[in-house]
Amino acid sequence: MTFTVEKENDNIYKIDLVIPAKDAAKAYDEAARRIAQYVNVDGFRRGKAPRAVVERHVGTERIKQEAMESLMPKAISEAIRENDLDVITQPNITKFDYTVGQDLIAEVKVEVRPEVTLGAYKDMKVEVESTEIPADAFDKALQNVLNQYATQELVVDRVTKDSDIAVIDFDGYVNGEKIVGGEGKNYPLDLAHSNFIPGFAEQIVGKNIGEEFDINVTFPAEYHDEKLKGQPAVFKIKLNEIKERKVPELNDEFAQKVGPFKTVDEFKADIQKYLDTQKENSDRQNSENAVFQKVIDAATVEIPQAMIDREAESLTNDYKQRLMAQGLSWEAVEKAQGNTNLSETIKEDAKVRIKNSLVIDQIAKVENIKLEPKDLTQKLSQLGAAYGMNQADLMKQLGKNPEIFTSLSQQALNDKVRDFLMEKNTVEFVQAKK
């Protein structure tokens, strides 16, 4: 076999292959015998029909296709290996001339990894804004826990307060017509944390049990339903029950109820530890992102449009599948977001993802950062824990979906490169800007 390799444009290479007539004829004969094993030819036992009979039965082009499927992968792989081409997509046979008894001539095109020029990625000093814990964070966290253990008690001797839970029947109308889906029975509305139309909950304050009344509100101008945007509405209300939230007393008994604590001080210390851990995690994540972004900004790479289109198509398909699982459509999301260029947004995301991946791979190559079995084992353990699967079941699933294993390998390499960047650069925390 002989071949020539020529760079066509950007990251596309053309491989011209010539496979000797003897090898091409041998592959053709073997292909005919293989096909004879699984086709039924009248008058012959399976696998015993002569080549000429098989040719008449399935056609010579079908046999050539079978022969090429055995010949071409090895030939293409040899050309790629000897020319040290970093191919990133399946080779594409663009044309061929296959006549039995003559040399097989084929043209193949391959797409290689774009060249990445790294800028500074080591020995940098990167300033990162320190995560600030709000002054009221501790009090809010403590109150949240108390609220989780709050009870609701029926109230019968007073009107509603803005901190109550009002159990109501409601029926909405716009221009005298009932609102589709705008009704409910015995709905528990938290008056202090309502997500209803602005002004709705406030008008229920000061009402008595059993009272029936109207509420007048206006739908927001950005409301998702076009028919209701900015429209005035009337809701007929009946107040069925009033419930008051009773927050438990903060004492040692409560601390023992919510966790492995003996005293309130131990409970409070645990909340503070949680807030400190949140700050540490946030600072670490912000540091990694800042360092990595500086490395990305310093690198240059020309990304071919074909790569962007493929990645964008993959992202789009994934996005559409997730929308379908939620009962939504692409068009509905565009309309709700007021974004008619969602495809362009996804293309920009695709560019970012491709560049990030290429830069990571280039750093790994330059610094000889390689995956070890323990790296993949760790990723597999994390995936198994996330989905509650044991190792055996997880491996079965990976066997059915090899693309998941590829994704895990890339994630593991990403982690190693990010760890390398954090080791080789200095982060300086500065006070967050107001």
Burial of 369 (0-12, 13-18, 19+ CB in 10 A): middle
Same domain, 368 and 411: yes
Q: Which domain holds residue 316?
A: 264-430
Output the domain CATH number for residue 52.
3.30.70.1050
Residue with tokens 């001339």: 97
Pairwise CA distance, residues 11 & 293, whole Å: 25
Same domain, 288 and 316: yes
Pairwise CA distance, residues 412 & 408, whole Å: 6
Output the domain CATH number for residue 303.
1.10.3120.10
Same domain, 384 and 307: yes
pLDDT band at 202 (very low <50, low <70, confident <90, very high): very high
Distance set, CA 295 to CA 260, 365, 411, 423, 424 (Å) = 45, 15, 18, 14, 12
Pairwise CA distance, residues 231 & 239, whole Å: 25
pLDDT value of position 225: 83
> What tens digit of pLDDT does each residue of 264-289 get?
999 999 999 999 999 999 999 999 99
For residue 126, being part of any structural domain is answered with: no
Output the domain CATH number for residue 209.
3.10.50.40
Give the number of domains in the chain. 3
For residue 44, being part of any structural domain is answered with: yes
pTM of the complete model? 0.70
Encoded amino acid at 432, one letter: A
CA gyration radius, the chain: 34
Contact 224, 175 (CB under 8 A): no
Alpha-carbon torsion (331, 336, 338, 341), positive or negative:
negative
Same domain, 271 and 221: no
pLDDT value of position 219: 93
For residue 82, being part of any structural domain is answered with: yes
Per-residue pLDDT at 339 exceeds 60: no
Arithmetic mean of pLDDT over the chain? 89
pLDDT value of position 35: 82
Contact 271, 261 (CB under 8 A): no
> What tens digit of pLDDT does each residue of 9-54 get?
778 899 999 999 999 999 988 888 888 887 776 667 666 777 787 7
Same domain, 211 and 346: no
Distinct helix (H) and strand (E) counts, the chain: 12, 13
